[in-house]
Amino acid sequence: MKRIEVDEKAFDGFEDYRGKDDASRALGRLVRYADRKQEEEADRIALVMLEDHWFDFNDNPGQASNAPFLEGVCRLYKNIRSYRLNFYDADSFGHALAAVATLPESRIVLYIGAHGSKGRIGAANSSNLMKKVAEFSRKKKIEGILLSSCFAAGHDGAMQEALKGGSNWIFGYRTAVDFLGSVQVEAAILAQMADTGAGFSDTGDDVVAAVGKALGCFNPAWEIGEEPCLTLRQAFRLLVRGKHMKTVVDYTQDAADKAWP
């Protein structure tokens, strides 16, 4: 016997239909609703935003954040829910990850936002943070990672470490990038991910297509990098390890070719 779970509104509709139609037709409507609802939930993405503070209070009393930009994308698409937490070091990063272990969504896109320097994300060692991501992803799958931190993608070891736990892709920057420019790129990528379904990142092709389409909204010669000024084409990196891929593959050039043929 099939077990179906529906909300109160759907059940009230079932009761109403049952009063007008025969019980079997009303039950059929309910089953079709439950199946559609289950498919929608399987495709739904949880955007988990882990963000460090960006500026000193004296410099930026309003405490600018990338979250409102990404939450704006989530409001455009019904299949993305956003969850926002803060971190300040490696320990608080781990606690923040643990806090989202009970999320109902089976698909997670993890956004990590913090100032970066070579080998550091915020106040933490980048490799240590990526190990925490990999460890978490072994327990609850992270599908993809948006790493919004200067220079973080210049560290091959850390980028690859993040995918060891089963995550399928990671996007980041190999150079310093400006605050507003980078969040525009990340919002465009998130918007492309919004219409994807379960199994989207089993291979690298779909990821490359989505990231390439997002990047194609921008001029490849746009100087998104700070000193030395690098273009968008030079600044980003995309690594993928799909479900059926044995090793991590650098798809940066493939995404650039897709974006700017």
pLDDT of residue 58: 85
pTM > 0.75: yes or no: yes
- pLDDT tens for 35-80 read 444 445 668 999 999 999 888 888 878 888 999 999 999 999 988 9
Asked whether 258 and 213 are in contact (CB, 8 A), the reply is yes
Of 240, 142, 120, 222, nearest in space to 177 by CA? 222
- pLDDT tens for 159-210 read 899 999 989 999 999 999 999 999 999 999 999 999 888 888 888 899 999 9
> How far apart are the C-alpha atoms of 46 and 111, rounded to whole Å?
10
User: Which ranges of the chain would DSSP assign to H, the alpha helix?
Assistant: 8-20, 23-43, 67-76, 90-99, 126-139, 156-162, 179-194, 204-215, 232-235, 252-259
- pLDDT tens for 137-155 read 999 999 999 999 999 998 7
